[in-house]
Structure 1
């Protein structure tokens, strides 16, 4: 009995898998808020130099249009833009001049020298009551630091993409998930108490490392315990919670206002998440079998069957595992690391193709998201639409991936997304162009979701977490390149979106070189993946009379798994 048949016996999408999916989806929701929280915690607001910090306004000042702080501001800050706004980084040199003297000088104050702010800044807190910009005075000469912080956060994603997969393949899905949840809580809590920007940036880096690891481990773990027909449904259910994180974050940020309290609110959920994971989540039985720990795998499968209310004897599970073990545990011990991904030419071809695909997906996704202000409509409306359109995209690909298959769906959506990008420059600026560009975002969101499931179905079990981690790592490269490609608009306004479209079409065409995995068992060894690839290219005859619909994992005992 192969593992898919065994999983069907204990329940391949029963109560256990559904509860697991809800747990994972809630983690995705919370992780999304941490990803985008700096949009609000580092929100930019108007600012100006402080003057006479410790002095009160004279009691005889009576101006209905100016309060005391505005009065100080009018006396000490130069006006710019035809006297419509105040200078943000300089002031008149009123050092040594008390407020009453400045009042007596009147317009003569404007004859004083202009100097940089020497007493700190005041901020317009009407939109953002409390931010790191205000607390750490990240304005004027330090205004670039929030961008550096976000770049370093994505560098943490880069590291987490590699370490998360390696940890899951080495010590198991459950233990590595628990460790990352605990670390996320600790580091998130410390971030709230950051005394300066250097510590804030450092802690945010580690937050990204642990959260990205959680995402990779969760995706792999849930994929390994559901039926092949449910994998796309599971993945897109999770992605809908990712999109829901936008709305949760914006609503809470508007309600809370204080960046430290907002950070705390989105960190506290890791406590119940850890407790629920510890008591509910079982180790991946598929991973245990590849580690030759069939005794523990039997216990896990029995618990899953119990939660799924399946009436099955433990002896039956034991017998099934004993039959299945020789086929799935003779894989070379060395396959549990990233180096094994490139030792087999077949695996190497898959890894290179999928790595390029992931990088392009990220490149086009973030490129379109960052360029919404160039579409000729209100930038806030276009940005909201850009985020909201992800929900129907995730919902649609549940059906498209089952209808066209993983390869057909990824090919179709990437080609359509690329074509939308390429024709966007031909559309008049305004609502028509925005609709076409958002069509590109819709299709690339679909393909980005489908490729997660497709990748997990191509990489063998001992390497699955490491493989997904590697693909996620390469996707960070696309995210880094997207803002740089947007700079090409200085050469030609339409050049960036044409570059995005060209890359999308190229990656879509390369999908045709990959095998289809819809309805197939997850490969348990490198040999299984090689067989999938060879059958897709008709490189060998099916000597044992099995067709693709009856495909089962091959016995790799006759030759080295990495040959």
Structure 2
């Protein structure tokens, strides 16, 4: 009985572990270190994508598009700036609104109003915006909020899109991590990045709110799977004594992605072109990982 226990202990002691490789190659290996830095770029891309949604779905000042006011600008020969100044005097403001997206959802009914009379219009009946909206483009030339009119009664669609995107993060973390354990970290990371890029193209080409939301959901699934797998893969490339530092460095790369998102939003005013810049970064990272 004693001999059997000794044999079992001896067999357990000989069980190989992945970390045993560092006993032979040392805590520093040039190839592993370069691979780790390349993988860390996945976190930069993930931070960029996670923050980009703030600039894709911003709260934008908007007003009702009133045909009577547009016609009046033409009649009296106002330029674009003076026309906007004139319109601001005739806009209806909801004092009970709680967000920017709900402030200007109604307009005065100017159908029978005589602008030449200069009479008070405050008692003029109001109605919901009849001809769509105009937007303040001083910060963003285009955005998802503006393109799909996610204001007033459609404001809830912004929260819905964000909720579905976070649901995608949950789904990806539950599924793709297990796929990485089964089929390998590197192929899972590469495939996740490639699919992430493809869905980014779909988002960029979206012609409706629901198409945009669907592709953002799919992108979130691949994104979270990609950076979770990359985190584990990256930490396995460094010795156990350096893994706390490696994890901190990966989070630092995420912060760099956050910063880049703000820079992209400042430099690229069109939301589709902004996604195109993100797509280029993701594609380059995928190529580097494959090398």
The TM-score, its normalising length taken from structure 2, stands at 0.84
Partner of 1:192: 204
Does residue 1:90 correspond to 2:102, yes or no? no
User: What's the Cα RMSD here?
Assistant: 2.5
Match of 1:37 among 52, 61, 65: 52
Partners of 2:186 and 2:278 in 1: CA distance: 22
Which residue is 1:71 aligned to? 86
Residue 252 (1) aligns with residue 268 (2): no
CA–CA distance in structure 2, aligned partners of residues 129 and 256 of structure 1: 9
What is the aligned length? 270
Could you say if the C-alpha distance between residues 71 and 196 of structure 1 is closer, same or farther in structure 2, counting changes exceeding 3 Å?
A: same
- Cα separation, partners in 2 of 1:4 and 1:62, compared to 1, 3 Å: closer
Q: 1:155 offset after TM fit, Å?
A: 0.4
Map of 1:57 onto structure 2:
73
The answer to whether structure 1 residue 161 and structure 2 residue 173 are counterparts is: yes
CA deviation vs aligned residue, 1:458-495 (integer Å, no higher than 9, x gap): xxxxxxxxxxxxxxxxxxxxxxxxxxxxxxxxxxxxxx
In structure 1, the partner of 2:134 is 122
| CA shift digits 1:18-71 (9 cap, x unpaired) | 11121121110111111121111111121110011874724645699x612332
Contact 1:149 1:201 in 2 (8 A): yes
| Match in the other structure for 1:47 | 62
Cα 1:92–1:59 shift into 2, 3 Å: closer
SS at match of 2:59: coil
* Paired residue secondary structure (1:48): strand
Q: CA deviation at 1:249?
A: 1.0
Unaligned runs of 5+ in 2: 1-13
| TM-aligned CA distance change 1:26 to 1:63, over 3 Å | closer
Distance 1:208 1:243 in 2: 18
Equivalent runs, 1:214-293 vs 2, <5 Å = 214-279=226-291
Pick closer, same or farther for the CA change 1:186–1:59 going to 2, 3 Å: same
CA contact 1:28–1:238 (8 Å) conserved in 2: yes
Q: Contact 2:40 / 2:234 at 8 angstroms: preserved in 1? A: no
**Alignment gaps of 5+ in structure 1:** 280-563
Cα contact 1:173–1:221 (8 A) shared by 2: yes
Alpha-carbon distance in 1 for matches of 2:194, 2:37 = 19
Q: Which runs of 4+ in 1 moved over 4 A?
A: 61-64
Matched position secondary structure for 1:195: coil
TM-score normalized by the length of structure 1 = 0.45
Check conservation: 2:36, 2:237, Cα contact below 8 A: no
CA contact (8 A) 2:93 2:106 kept: no
**Partners of 2:212 and 2:114 in 1: how far apart?**
39
Q: How does 1:308-347 map to 2 (within 5 A)?
A: none
